[in-house]
Amino acid sequence: MEYLVGIQGPDFVLVAADNVAASSIIQMKHDQDKMFKLSEKILLLCVGEAGDTAQFAEYIQKNLQLYKMRNGYELSPSAAANFTRKNLADYLRSRTPYHVNLLLAGYDETDGPGLYYMDYLSSLSKAPFAAHGYGAYLTLSILDQHYKPDLTREEAVDLLKKCIEELRKRFIMNLPSFTVRLIDKEGIHDLEKLSSGAK
Amino acid sequence: MALEDICGFQDTPLHRKCFPASHFEDTAISFDCYSAEFRGLKKSGRDSGIPLQFFLPSLPNSSPFNHRSTSHFSPSKHSVTVRRPFPLSHGTTTLGFIFQGGVIAAADTRASAGGLVACPAVHKITPIHSHLVVTSSGSGADCMLWERILAREIRLYQLRHRRCLSICGTAKLLSFMLHPFKGTDVCVALTLCGWDKEAGNTDSSFITDNSSSAGFSSQDVSAIAYPSSPNRGPKLIYVCSDGARLQGDVFSVGSGSPYAYGVLDGRLRWNLSKDEAVSLAREAVFRATHRDAYSGNNVDLFHVTAQGWSRRKREELKEEYYRDMERRTKTVGERKRETALDALG
């Protein structure tokens, strides 16, 4: 029922997440922020089981903060993604696995932008674009069709709008608004919240 | 409970034998004094204030295993669930909302066990401290226990740090205390309704904590305008035993919650007067109790402001139902008379 999407450009990563926090059939919140800031240029988008999302994401967030305090510099997005994956994998075969699906988006000084797809079985993959949730079934073909490795920021936002329009049209759940953020060498920027039109 | 902790009172077996009833939670530990790790945890529990003794049921056969050993506060034994003697239904209507005059918390008073009304006059809204009340839904026993634990931990924090923990902090503490029980039959859904008296503790500038969000100002444009200091003023946070922790402006929890949302969503605005807000809350609970079989009997209403919480007299909804019926027949009668007059004139 939740939706995450990420699109990587030549020097930026664009990510969006829906804003609904639901409990069975009721929407309890319409302005839930599902993105967790791991460092100045890394965002973790986290969806999944009710308590696991916040618990796991905050655990990763605080550990990365601790790393910065101890060592004086931040982890790179690739290192952060692998650290997250390792934690998820360690818990997977314990009595208390975390059921969360993640997108990690970041910008590295040397490697450039990166988008990492991780699912609840702790499989990790660096991808040019990715999506989570039932909405992914509807939008991945749109991303496949229109994505180019050298797309500009405007083109990326247009592609995102196409995806959201498709969700509005065909997805059974009403997802009224989406938080959109862009990461580039300057850091994390809030973009305008995208609304699907249906309130 | 809190006084015992703050004095460092050591519970000895001799004391327990003389006063068996006074420390029900500690009897579990008397069976398992062998593992030093456990004793270490118990000590750390006292220092950190997390009530570890509640996590350890008296099961001599259960083997300890590695239960999220990374967490400092995790229990050393897996709490095996006890089979319920009869099906428990989570029948309740509770609601809370924020408006210009503070926070309103309302709830029905029926405790149901399957199809039986176990008690028609239960308190589902409990004050935790002068500026915080909590509405409970889910399993009655679990809620009662966790409210008591929360009250104890908040009081301990207040005694140790000489200031009140913020509502957000309280919610986070409760959420982390409930986390080890995720997956067991503990069923607790609490809504913390309170007023932050002072500016809350600001985190380091690296991450600003706003109930686990990324810390950006991503509030909905149509949301209520909050007072200038974001950490002061009314707060409403929903905490659930499966780990959800949500801050918002209006929450309704329980089997009657969809009906209550139907009434609230239509008429809730920021600039309601206190009387309008009270009457809206009453109406929402009334309509929910009318439709939901597992909610009913009376409605409790609390109002939290900067001066603290105040409680409205418990009101029976049977009277309200008959008043509503009378009002309807009156309006129908009036409309009939009007149409008759129009027909004549």
Comparing alpha-carbon positions, the chain B residue that sits nearest to A62 is B207
Q: What is the CA radius of gyration of chain A?
A: 16
d(CA B127, CA B195): 12
A55 and chain B in contact, CB less than 8 A? yes
| DSSP result, A99-146 | -EEEEEEEEETTTEEEEEEE-TT--EEE-SEEEESHHHHHHHHHHHHH
Q: Which of B92, B109, B170, B289 is catalytic?
A: B92
B84 domain residue, yes or no: no
Q: Residue B212 and residue A96: Cβ atoms within 8 Å?
A: no
Chain B segment 56-95 residues within 8 A of A by beta carbon are 65-68, 78
Distance, in Å, from the CA atom of A178 to the CA atom of A176, rounded to the nearest integer, reads 7
Please state at what angle helix A50-71 crosses helix A77-92, rounded to 10 degrees. Answer: 130
User: B240 and A49: CB-CB below 8 Å?
Assistant: no
Weakest-pLDDT range from B13-27, B202-216, B316-330: B202-216
* pLDDT > 70 in chain B, percent: 66
Give how many domains chain A has, as a whole number: 1
Please count the CA atoms within 13 angstroms of the CA of B177 that sit on its side-chain side: 27
Q: B84 falls in which pLDDT band (50, 70, 90)? A: low
Q: What's the confidence (pLDDT) of residue B136?
A: 93
Nearest to A51 among B182, B213, B257 (CB): B182
**Chain-centroid distance, C-alpha A190:** 14
Which pLDDT value is given to residue B230? 64
In a domain, B274, yes or no: yes
A interface test, pick of B172, B184, B206 with most A CB neighbours within 10 Å:
B206
* CB–CB contact A33 B183 (8 Å): no
Residue B281 sits in which domain range? 90-196+231-317
Per-residue pLDDT tens listing for chain A (199 residues): 899 999 999 999 999 999 999 988 889 999 999 999 999 999 999 999 988 999 999 999 999 999 999 999 999 999 999 999 999 999 999 988 999 999 999 999 999 999 999 999 999 999 999 999 999 999 999 999 999 999 999 999 999 999 999 999 999 999 999 999 999 999 999 999 998 875 4
How does pLDDT run across B30-83, given as a tens digit for each residue?
334 344 444 434 443 344 444 444 544 444 444 344 333 333 343 444 455 556
Pairing label, strands A35-39, A177-184: unpaired
Question: What does the pLDDT read at residue B14?
Answer: 54
- The answer to whether A110 contacts chain B (CB < 8 Å) is no
Give pLDDT, residue B199. Answer: 59
Average pLDDT over all residues of chain B: 75
| The pLDDT value given to residue A68 | 95
> Which residues of chain B does A177 touch, with a Cβ-Cβ cutoff of 8 Å?
220
CATH of the domain at B307: 3.60.20.10
Cβ of B248 and A51 within 8 Å? no
The mean-pLDDT minimum among A86-100, B103-117, B208-222 falls in B208-222
Number of Cβ atoms within 10 Å of the Cβ of B2? 16
Classify residue B29: in a domain, yes or no.
no
pTM for the model = 0.75
Q: Is B92 a catalytic residue?
A: yes
Q: Extract the runs of DSSP E, i.e. beta strands, from B115-248.
A: 116-119, 125-129, 132-138, 188-196, 233-240, 245-247
Residue of B96 and B73 predicted with greater confidence: B96
Place of tokens 């409605």: B299
d(CA A20, nearest CA chain B) in Å: 11
* Residues A126-164: b if buried by 16+ CB within 10 A, e if exposed: eebbbbbbebbebbeebbeebbeeebebebbbebbeebb
Interface contact flag, B243 A61, Cβ < 8 Å: no
- Nearest CB among B207, B219, B243 relative to A31 is that of B219
SS3 A47: strand
- Residue B129, domain member (yes or no): yes
Residue B27: pLDDT band with limits 50, 70, 90: very low
Cβ-Cβ contacts under 8 Å, A58 against chain B: 212
pLDDT of residue B82: 59
Predicted local distance difference test score (pLDDT) of residue B39: 41
CATH code where residue A29 lies? 3.60.20.10
What does the pLDDT look like over B185-211, one tens digit per residue?
Answer: 888 999 999 999 875 454 433 333 444
Residue B21 neighbours by CB under 8 Å, 6+ apart = none
The domain of A156 spans 4-195
| Between B232 and A58, residue with greater pLDDT | A58
User: How many CB atoms are closer than 10 A to CB B110?
Assistant: 25
Q: Distance between CA atoms of A39 and A18, rounded to whole angstroms?
A: 21
Q: How many domains does chain B have?
A: 1
Q: Please judge whether B220 and A30 are an interchain contact, meaning their C-beta atoms are less than 8 angstroms apart.
A: yes
**What angle separates helix B140-161 from helix B167-178, to the nearest 10 degrees?**
130
B240: nearest CB among A29, A50, A57 = A50
- Which one of B213, B243, B248 has the shortest CB-CB distance to A28? B248
Which residues of B fall within a CB distance of 8 Å from A19? 220
